[in-house]
Structure 1
Amino acid sequence: MSYPTIVHHGAADGVTGSCHQLVMQASNSLLVDCGLFQGAETSASGKAGAERLTIDFSIEGIKALIATHVHIDHVGRIPYLLAAGFKGPILCSEPSAKLLPIVLEDAFKLGFSRDQKQVERYLKLIEQRIIALPYKIWFTLQDDEQLCCRIRLQRAGHILGSAYVEIDLNYRQTGEQKRIVFSGDLGAPHAPLLPAPKPPQRADILVLESTYGDRLHEDRRTRRQRLEQVLEHALSDQGTVLIPAFSIGRTQELLYELEDILHRKQQAPDKSKAKGQGSALDWTKLPIILDSPLASRFTQVYRELKPFWDDEALQRVRQGRKPLGFEQLLTVDSHRAHLAMVKRLTQTSQPAIVIAGNGMCSSGRIVNYLKAMLGNIRHNVLFVGYQAQGTPGNAIQLHGPRGGYVDLDHERYKIAAKIDTIGGYSAHADQQGLLSFVTGMRRWPEQIRIVHGDASAKRELGERLKVLYKMAKRGLDLRIPSAHQ
């Protein structure tokens, strides 16, 4: 067998469970991500993702795990990887090194134990394993008479700490050199808080995500205007706008955009009233409720990591604004306070915006809000992120506009609330962003492996790449692998 080779243990047949093994030598490999399968997606062994947590591949010879970012579909199976006997280091960016223990603590409590002593022992083990790598700096993982392996992380612009991975392999005995790039999840340009990703100079092999490989996003200004319009219309009914969002990344982006809307409304108070049912909405008193202890913890770490924010966000801070900690932001921590908030918003006609996890409505506090409010036309559900097939979020998105129903915790709930989707709010690059990542390289990849997308997204992105390569008169080995290939 010739090396290197790549084996895909996840995100080959869908968009979750990212896990890719770079086999460098017969008994020597790296793992890039080790994520959880979500929704109806299956693991490499063909079992449903929600039940498939154990590691279904050999970990022998895996020298290190590289975490591209801390979303659960990229790191959620790390506790199971450690339980399977993995002894190597966990390499990640400096911001991810601060965020990862929070994510893995939550994953450990959900999957293993809530015993505080066990949790503390586990977190100590995680922190001992983490090696925080600065962006743009090469890290030598192996250097012997056979192989030199160097790793470099570059900003991916997806969430704070996200990175794409450059791996340089130098085979000393044959003189062969290869650069393999794993895109991780690439962010959209002009995303709130984060600098846009810049393509690498070159790659021989590129493993490329394709979540939105078959569509284009709205630009950020249009997206922000749509958010404001949807909120104004929804809140005119004196109801609650429920925004399902994952605790890290999307939540902080939303807070950043909402702070800007409130800031501009307060700068122009005469224009800040949405008429509805004979009353007017006072934006200066509108509560923005963050109902997620995990999201609150992540938001605090985001605040502490201001040096990694982009110039626009830092400019707002210099103006005395608090993009992630404004006055109208209320946080709900305890479960008791959460239940009281659900009851209050259900029984009163006070307009409010609630951000709660999780983003696909498959668990978490958003479910209690949905159970209480889906049946009332006064309320709205606003989706701002991808809804994987088989999740309640996907069912609400599909059937809600037609007055359908959704099953939550094995009970059926009729949907009378209004349903909105702002697709341009994705933290993922769209088709153009993905293509630009490739064509922006000085030396285009000879081989591209398309992963992390639905079948149509992968297929359409692949066709577009073929056209671009043909126009440029370049050769392309395009692969759309399935699991374990």
Structure 2
Amino acid sequence: MRVHFHGAAGEVTGSMHLVEAAGRRILLDCGMIQGGREAEARNFEPFPFDPSSIDALVLSHAHIDHIGRVPRLVWQGFRGPIYVQQAGAELLPVMLLDAASLAESDADRENRKRRQGEPEAMPLFTREDVHAVLDLVRPLPYGARTSIAPGVEIALRDAGHILGSSIVELWADGRKLVYSGDLGPPGTPILRDPEPVREADLVLMESTYGDRNHRDRLDTIHEFGDLLEQAWEARGKVLIPAFAVGRSQELLYWFARHWDEWRLSRWRIFLDSPMAAKVVAIYDRHQALFDEDARAVWKGRPDPFRLPNLHITESTDQSMAINRIENGAIVIAGSGMANGGRILHHFRHGIDRRSTHVVFVGYQSEGTLGRRLVDGAKWVRIHGHDHRVNARIHTVGGLSAHTDQRGLIAWYEGFEGRPPLVLVHGEDRAREALAGELGERGPADVRLARPGMVVDV
């Protein structure tokens, strides 16, 4: 068995790892590279392998940084099956069609600005490309050991990151590879904890927060409540960049759980996303995957997805109308790193106001607008115009959907015999810190993935 590392190898986004075993080629994830314009231009580059040579694709979950180049893979010749957990299979078209719509809109906007004779801007993929992907999807339940090619078997385990997120176990050539995908923190609302895995000959593990530990979640929730109170007293508006899958549902969970304590009935709450209603319906259909605490909250009132003052805005006109509200509104909108989507329109209308509170509740990659705001930028460019940042910027790190250094170490130490480990999906600072901590705890063969690196199992 041989593993080639082609993405999320020294950075957080663009997950893509190629496994050669039993005479077959299996691709683990095919994600979009996210960040600034230069980083995202790399998504248009040719794949470092022939897409038609791939026998099967296994997706760990439906976040765009793990699935966002799948339409290009198919467009360039891949015709094999695509395996993903059942709930993830339902989220897949929602995420990809939304990304295609944004890509088409961005290309149209760019072409309107170009002079005659300049080359036409093209979207990374179109909605038509997405439909070609969906014909290849093969949903799998958690725990079922399945043959995906002659001599190659996989099983998916719950990763606790978003609905349908998976740890991938892969057997071939008498060896076993385990790929963590993205691991959620223990105790994450709604979702179950990541499943432990005991045996492996090689482990590929994410390391997004390999250099830090999250604040206690309850402390974070108290901080969030205090923040909302400050915003109300300042007659302000709260803007929350959040991914439509995972973080948005968790926020609604906390709103329901602290409905009376945070006096949320006085606010207007907007989930401003074309895909939100579809995602909420998918979560509703898969309550069997929720943890016990979430099932108890769902039995109570109010229902997190049906708060009496919750408005799920799907149309552009509905979204634009929110900008006429100057105070008393909580707006959850994508994207989570503020590098696209409807949150940018809300920033354009509110980032220069001192009464606006911007709350970041997830990781912000290098090169994204979210990272620049978190790092204290005084001016930002949005849709070609410069805006003064007068809004109050908050980072609420304890709500991360990724586990922290403690959680990563605990999950790895669940393996017997400390198998060889390759760290992926993390910046070098985080990976080096995690490798150092693991080395202090006992002998460990820990490597940091680099683009083009090859590891034999």
* Residues 1:233 and 2:230 aligned together: yes
Structure 1 residue 297, shift from structure 2 partner? 2.0
Question: Relative to structure 2, which stretch is displaced further, 319-328 or 214-223?
Answer: 319-328
CA deviations over 1:339-390 (Å, ceiling 9, x no partner) = 1211x223xxx31111011111111111111111111111110111111111
Structure 1 residue 97, shift from structure 2 partner? 1.0
Structure showing greater radius of gyration is 1
SS for the counterpart of 2:387 is: strand
Q: Which residue of 2 aligns with 1:442?
A: 416
Q: Please provide the CA RMSD for this pair.
A: 2.1
Work out the percentage of aligned pairs sharing the same amino acid. Answer: 35
- How many pairs are equivalent? 435
23, 27, 31: which one aligns with 2:27:
31
CA deviations over 1:404-445 (Å, ceiling 9, x no partner) = 111112321111111111111110010000001111123431
Q: Which residue of 1 aligns with 2:442?
A: 469
329, 338, 341: which one aligns with 1:361:
338
Structure 1 residue 71, shift from structure 2 partner? 0.3
Structure 1 residue 296, shift from structure 2 partner? 2.9
Q: Which residue of 2 aligns with 1:268?
A: none
Q: What is the alpha-carbon distance in structure 1 between the residues aligned to residue 301 and residue 329 of structure 2? A: 25
CA deviations over 1:23-64 (Å, ceiling 9, x no partner) = 115x521001000001149xxxxx633452344222243111
Distance 1:431 1:86, change over 3 A: same
* Residues 1:345 and 2:325 aligned together: yes
* Residues 1:88 and 2:88 aligned together: no
145, 151, 154: which one aligns with 2:154:
151
Contact kept, 8 Å, 2:71 with 2:130, in 1: the verdict is no
Q: Which residue of 2 aligns with 1:64?
A: 56
CA deviations over 1:112-153 (Å, ceiling 9, x no partner) = 699xxx97865553333111111011001234xxxx211000
Q: Which residue of 1 aligns with 2:171?
A: 168
CA deviations over 1:244-263 (Å, ceiling 9, x no partner) = 11111111111111121214
Q: Which residue of 2 aligns with 1:316?
A: 297
Q: What is the alpha-carbon distance in structure 2 between the residues aligned to residue 365 and residue 40 of structure 1? A: 17
CA deviations over 1:287-337 (Å, ceiling 9, x no partner) = 111111123321221122211111111112233541222112111111112
TM-score (structure 2 length as normaliser): 0.91
Question: Relative to structure 2, which stretch is displaced further, 254-263 or 87-96?
Answer: 254-263
Q: Which residue of 2 aligns with 1:479?
A: 447
Give the letter aligned to residue 161 of structure 1: G
Q: Which residue of 2 aligns with 1:10?
A: 7
CA deviations over 1:156-197 (Å, ceiling 9, x no partner) = 00000000100011x3xxxxx211001100001111100001
Q: Which residue of 2 aligns with 1:75?
A: 67
Q: Which residue of 1 aligns with 2:134?
A: 127
Structure 1 residue 111, shift from structure 2 partner? 4.2
TM-score (structure 1 length as normaliser): 0.85
Aligned ranges 1:389-404 → 2 under 5 Å = 389-400=366-377, 404=378
* Residues 1:49 and 2:40 aligned together: yes
Contact kept, 8 Å, 2:70 with 2:133, in 1: the verdict is no
SS for the counterpart of 1:96 is: helix
Q: What is the alpha-carbon distance in structure 2 between the residues aligned to residue 345 and residue 398 of structure 1? A: 28
Aligned ranges 1:276-295 → 2 under 5 Å = 283-295=264-276
Q: What is the alpha-carbon distance in structure 1 between the residues aligned to residue 58 and residue 260 of structure 2? A: 39
Q: What is the alpha-carbon distance in structure 2 between the residues aligned to residue 441 and residue 414 of structure 1? A: 50
SS for the counterpart of 1:208 is: strand
Aligned ranges 1:327-338 → 2 under 5 Å = 327-338=308-319
Aligned ranges 1:223-302 → 2 under 5 Å = 223-265=220-262, 272=263, 283-302=264-283
Q: Which runs of 5+ in 1 are unaligned?
A: 42-46, 172-176, 266-271, 273-282, 471-475
215, 219, 222: which one aligns with 2:216:
219
